[in-house]
């Protein structure tokens, strides 16, 4: 039990050292992440559509 208490004390101590982003930084990072995820999603959807079409074309012949 004491080990668990020590663990959470250490976690609390380390979390106080963390440099948290400010509001504008957080907004900028969030927009960057959402944009990147959207781009990657569209990219792989187009690739998947192309490969699926190619496979259908090959199998129909």
The Cα–Cα gap between 23 and 52 comes to: 43
pLDDT tens digits along 12-47: 999 999 999 999 999 999 999 999 999 999 999 999
Gap between the Cα atoms of 22 and 27, Å rounded: 9
Q: Where does the pLDDT of residue 60 fall: very low under 50, low under 70, confident under 90, or very high at 90 and above?
A: confident
pTM of the entire predicted model: 0.65
Longest dimension (CA), the chain: 70
pLDDT at 45: 98
Residue 58, pLDDT above cutoff 80: yes
Distance between CA atoms of residues 16 and 36, nearest Å: 30
Tokens of 4: 């668990």
pLDDT at residue 61 tops 90: no
Domain extent listing, the chain: 21-61
Which conformational region is residue 35 in: left (phi greater than 0), alpha (psi within -120 to 50 degrees), or beta? alpha
């Amino acid at each position: 039990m004491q080990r668990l208490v020590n663990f959470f004390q250490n976690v609390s101590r380390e979390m106080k050292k963390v440099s948290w982003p400010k509001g504008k930084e957080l907004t900028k990072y969030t927009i960057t992440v959402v944009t990147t995820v959207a781009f990657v999603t569209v990219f792989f959807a187009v690739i998947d559509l192309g490969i699926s079409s190619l496979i259908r074309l090959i199998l129909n012949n």
